Amino acid sequence: MNTPISQAIAPDFYHYDSSPIASAATEGEFVHIRWPDDAKLACHRFWLKENAVGQGGIDLATRECILDPADLTDDIEVKSAVVDNAGDLIVEWGHDGQRSVYHSGWLRHVAENNHRPSSWLPEAQSWTTGSIGEVPRVDGSAALESDEAILALLNNLMVYGACVLENSPTHEGYLLELAERIGPVRDSNFGRIWDVRADINLAGDAATNTTANTGLRLGPHSDLPTREIPPGFQFLHCLINDADGGESTLTDGAALVEALERDHPEEFELLYTRHWIFFNRGPGIDHRWSAPIIDYLPGSDTPTIRAFYPVRAFPAMANEDVGRCYEALRLFHKMADQAEFELKFRLTAGDIMCFDNRRVLHGRDAFTGSGKRHLQGIYIDRDEIMSRGRALNRAAASAVESAVVSNAS
């Protein structure tokens, strides 16, 4: 006998395959659900009420909860919880007599933790030069049309924190076109898109507002540590590069932190707990923030590295800690420059170097002679990268599943 098709509506816009429930039982404030394979989920009465579709919980048009928490009163009680013929959960409420239907597949995705922020995202992997060899590369020639290229880029960024999108067009402003395939660009005092035109003649000249536009070496660093939350990802698009020198570098801060914590615990503790004041000097701007060099932002297992010595202005710690913190800082930057951790390569026209600005330190060698190098850059916050990554990974999995079903039939 075939199981009846579920008529339940999920509280979001995703499609869920039915996953018929074996049993449901009420115990105190919870409804306990069990599936035939013994998977379980405990649902609090208020959470179920919030997720009741079209009954004052989830709005059908927006699929957002419209129930004010102030209205979650004690008289909201589950009178009964049963499983219908389609395997969905039916809750009858004691206070108003309404019956709410909950999609079994949606409930199962919660039971399997697929509702968490990490779901539909690949797991991050720290790397050294020995383990990765070179920066992952993706052909970007069709990135404006191909979801596959964008997904490959985003998954590399989430796993390794870095990827080069090669064979891209070389006209100015292309990064803004690419960003439309991913998410909103983050604005800054440099603008939504900015130019990096390295000029060896600008060193020590007030005509430039950033060290990046000089010909000087830039050691491994992260951008905008002066912000409460620095930009998540940075894309640097190489338009022209016939300059002598100026090779690009990338260092995985996650691997660096692991090595520091393992081999130099005292220095790690100083870098993790003692604060510095980061201060953006510039006409008309005054950005400043106080934080440690290794900064774990709430909700993230990946460290945010605040390491840009041109804007690290003042120690914000007890006097007796300052000397030791400078020693730890020196060790940190020496290790970041070591061949064990630092990848070095040359950008060519059409390369877009994309990296996690809070995890992966970027830099460049000094320019040694004539020639030009012109890059354009944008920032995209981590939320946008992860959101697009989840959506594309989920769509790709659904397409594979549909193909399997089609072939089987």
In this structure, are residues 57 and 64 in contact, taking their beta carbons and an 8 Å threshold? no
Mean predicted confidence (pLDDT) in 27-56:
96
Residue 199, Cβ neighbours under 10 Å: how many?
16
Residues 277 and 317: their CA atoms lie apart, in Å, by 10
What interhelical angle do 253-263 and 265-273 show, nearest 10?
Answer: 130
Please, what is the average pLDDT of the chain?
A: 92
Decide if pLDDT at 205 tops 60. Answer: no
List residues bridging with 361 in a β-sheet: 251
In this structure, are residues 3 and 86 in contact, taking their beta carbons and an 8 Å threshold? yes
Residues 21 and 87: their CA atoms lie apart, in Å, by 5
Q: Which of 6-15, 31-40, 54-63 has the lowest mean pLDDT?
A: 6-15
Band of the pLDDT at 206, cuts 50, 70, 90?
very low
Residues 350 and 119: their CA atoms lie apart, in Å, by 33
Band of the pLDDT at 197, cuts 50, 70, 90?
confident
Q: Which pair of tokens denotes residue 289? A: 């923030």
Decide if pLDDT at 2 tops 80. Answer: no
CATH domain 129-391 topology: Double-stranded beta-helix (3.60.130)
Decide if pLDDT at 98 tops 70. Answer: yes
Q: What is the pLDDT of residue 243?
A: 87
Q: What is the pLDDT of residue 301?
A: 84
In this structure, are residues 46 and 31 in contact, taking their beta carbons and an 8 Å threshold? no
In this structure, are residues 310 and 268 in contact, taking their beta carbons and an 8 Å threshold? no
Q: What is the pLDDT of residue 281?
A: 77
Band of the pLDDT at 1, cuts 50, 70, 90?
very low
The domain spans of the chain are: 23-115, 129-391
Residues 109 and 119: their CA atoms lie apart, in Å, by 10
The Cβ-side half-sphere exposure at 325, using a 13 Å CA radius, reads: 20
Measured CA distances, 336 to 18, 250, 351, 355, 385 (Å): 50, 9, 24, 16, 26
**Residue 5 vs residue 76, higher pLDDT:** 76
In this structure, are residues 110 and 41 in contact, taking their beta carbons and an 8 Å threshold? yes
List residues bridging with 139 in a β-sheet: 166
| Of the candidates 249, 253, 238, the residue with the CA atom closest to the CA atom of residue 161 | 253
Residues 294 and 270: their CA atoms lie apart, in Å, by 9
Residue 131, Cβ neighbours under 10 Å: how many?
11
The Cβ-side half-sphere exposure at 105, using a 13 Å CA radius, reads: 14
Non-local (6+) Cβ contacts of 370 within 8 A are 243, 244
Mean predicted confidence (pLDDT) in 280-293:
90
Q: Which of 7-11, 27-31, 198-202 has the lowest mean pLDDT?
A: 198-202
Q: What is the pLDDT of residue 408?
A: 62
Decide if pLDDT at 83 tops 60. Answer: yes
Asked: is 23-115 a CATH 3.30.2020.30 domain? The reply is: yes
In this structure, are residues 180 and 150 in contact, taking their beta carbons and an 8 Å threshold? no
What region does 277 belong to: left with phi over 0, alpha with psi -120 to 50, or beta?
beta
Band of the pLDDT at 215, cuts 50, 70, 90?
confident
Q: What is the pLDDT of residue 403?
A: 64
**Residue 160 vs residue 366, higher pLDDT:** 160
Q: What is the pLDDT of residue 277?
A: 97
Q: What is the pLDDT of residue 203?
A: 47
Alpha helices, DSSP H, located in 274-377: 319-337
Non-local (6+) Cβ contacts of 325 within 8 A are 270, 271, 274, 276, 315, 317
The one-character DSSP state at 247 is: -
Band of the pLDDT at 212, cuts 50, 70, 90?
low
Decide if pLDDT at 204 tops 50. Answer: no
